[in-house]
Amino acid sequence: MQDLIDQLRRIVGDTNVFTHDDPEADLGAWEQDWRKRTRGRALAVVRPGSTRQVAEVVQACAAAGTSIVPQGGNTGLVVGSIPNDSGTQVVLSLQRMSAVRNVDPGNSTITVEAGCILQNLQDAAEKAGFLFPLSLGAEGSCTIGGNLATNAGGTQVVRYGNARELCLGVEVVTAQGEIWDGLSGLRKDNTGYDLRDLFIGSEGTLGIITAATVKLFPQPAAQLTAWAPVASLDDAVKLLVLAHQRLGAGLTGFEVMGQFALSLVDKHYPQLRVPMWKDAPWCVLLENSDSESEDHARSQFESLLEAALEQGLVSDAVVAENIAQAHNLWHVRESITLAQAEEGLNIKHDISIPVSRIPEFVRQTDAALAAAIPGVRFVNFGHLGDGNLHYNIQAPAEGDPKAFLREQEEHVNTIVYDAVQQFDGSISAEHGVGELKRHKLVKHKSPVALSMMRAIKTALDPQGLMNPGRVL
Ligand code: FAD
Ligand code: 2HG
Ligand code: ZN
């Protein structure tokens, strides 16, 4: 192993290889998952500075038979970006590869390296007079490479689609250490299998994304945010249909938040002043982006909310008066994950169900869980506009949450995922499979689909060295 480490040092330089042999080095940030559920132990953490260096690192690891865990911002929620505990894996961090390579205004595209932090990509797009719409709570630390590797969703999917829909081309280092320049800015290209789409959502199991060309959009002239309590999820779904009808492509966000989820934000971040959370079991956050003007956006939004009031879908609503108020509403929404972490260990289910069936799914699954585990608490929220619910479970207020997880997690997951299957849903809407859901995938994905996935994995990574133990 020392030979490999010496070789890695020659490729990326001494200061970009970290090992446990160095008493000064703290590998914790690369070895610990964001949710603090699991800590692995790496043979080494390597930070290449160019695609060529990534290719050489992969070649050296392949020759040594050493497996690689690609890592971006390490914000993933399914344990996919940290090493296992064997002390034999190399973490390949894309942190240093963060450059914006090129903006093509005429083509409405931007090309960036994989380690570019999402927020920096959004800022670069804005500076060029465009919008890059991918948006999620972790945007200050996640990377575009990680976003693509997990096909991240976020809060603008209802209008702009997932990371996959936003990507036109990728540059990849294959499991053999070859460089594939697939950085196409083409919107149409039917020359055979879609290799780009194979790597998107592959969670580092097929190769390493080193750069990407993504779509840019016009910046909206005005963006308004509204918040409305609703009496039921059925009403929230009716409000969504109405919002689609009234706002058309202007509807850029439609989030739903359960009362207990908001109570946790209120408890742990009282300075955020969560609005109206005591008034109803659910609150909805809507966003209207308009290409004309703020007046036009406001009058459209007001007429939507009046219609919703008339139809009895909402009893009250606020439209943010200015950008600061709008930011605060979004801040409340984006703080649920952190508030839930503050509250303690929890079980996450990032699921999708046909939108129309979500209310019935929640009624049925809440009842099944409450009957099976008295006192269980539901932290439900998510991207209702995409049929994507974060159907999360917090341990009962009394008792030891660690013991709860140990004793009940599998039981809870079985109840939830069996219900997801019954409702024709997916057990991973946007976070991916990682290590956490791998054993569940075998149960909930069709054998034919799994066998095609395994064939792809074997064809592209015959040695099985790319992020083993994840997804498949
Ligand atoms: P990492 O966590 O480093 O890696 C994730 C996976 O991708 C791993 O399997 C890793 O091996 C692989 N990978 C990373 N970089 C590369 C690369 N260059 N090439 C190949 N494989 C690679 N997700 C959503 O979809 N929607 C949300 O709304 C959302 N909100 C979040 C909010 C918070 C507070 C947090 C902590 C997470 C949230 N996430 C969300 C999950 C996570 O942030 C996203 O999945 C994000 O896309 C991961 O990016 P990353 O750079 O941190 O990737
Ligand atoms: C979000 O939508 C993220 O905020 C995180 O996908 C979801 O914490 C979660 O379960
Ligand atoms: Zn989400």
Residue 406 lies inside a defined structural domain of this protein: yes
Q: Which residues line ligand 1 (CB under 6 A)?
A: 34, 69-77, 80-81, 94, 114, 136-138, 142-143, 145-147, 149-150, 152-154, 203-204, 208-209, 337, 430-431, 467, 470
Looking at the structure, do residues 81 and 133 belong to the same domain, yes or no?
no
pTM of the model: 0.98
Identify the domain boundary among 218, 248, 263: 218
Which residues face 186 on adjacent strands? none
Residues 233 and 333 in one domain: yes
User: In terms of domains, do 196 and 304 share one?
Assistant: no
Ligand 1 probe mutation, 50, 68, 75, most atoms within 8 A of CB: 75
- 171 and 125 fall within a common domain: yes
Last residue of a domain, one of 337, 354, 386: 337
What domain range is 135 assigned to?
100-218
Q: What is the reported pLDDT for 398? A: 87
What is the CATH number for 365?
3.30.70.2740
Whether 136 is in a domain gets the answer yes
Among 35, 36, 75, 77, residue to substitute to test ligand 2 (most atoms within 8 Å of Cβ): 77
Tally of domains within the chain: 4
End of a domain among 30, 59, 93?
93
User: In this predicted complex, what is the ipTM?
Assistant: 0.99
Is 40 a domain residue?
Answer: yes
Q: Which residue has the tokens 């020659």?
A: 10
pLDDT tens across 53-97, in order? 999 999 999 999 999 999 999 999 999 999 999 999 999 999 999
Q: Residue 399: what pLDDT?
A: 87
> b/e per residue, 446-456, with b = 16+ CB within 10 A?
eeeeeeebeeb
Cα–Cα distances in angstroms (integers) from residue 241 to residues 89, 304, 334, 384, in the given order:
48, 11, 24, 11
Question: Which candidate, 371, 363, 369, 349, places its Cα nearest to that of 429?
Answer: 349
Give residue 293's pLDDT: 95
Residue 390 beta carbon below 6 angstroms from any ligand 2 atom: yes
Residues 248 and 290 sit within 8 Å (Cβ to Cβ): no
463 SS3 class: coil
For ligand 1, pick from 51, 116, 136, 179 the residue to mutate: most ligand atoms within 8 Å of CB. 136
Whichever domain contains 187, its CATH number is 3.30.465.10
**Looking at residue 38, which CATH number applies to its domain?**
3.30.43.10
Q: Is the dihedral of CA 273, 277, 282, 288 positive or negative?
A: negative
Q: What pLDDT was estimated at residue 213?
A: 98
82, 30 in Cβ contact below 8 A? yes
Q: Extract the residue ranges of the chain whose pLDDT is less than 50.
A: none
Q: How far is the CA of 400 from the centre of ligand 2 (A)?
A: 24
Identify the residue whose tokens are 């609005």. Answer: 275
Residues 418 and 356 in one domain: yes
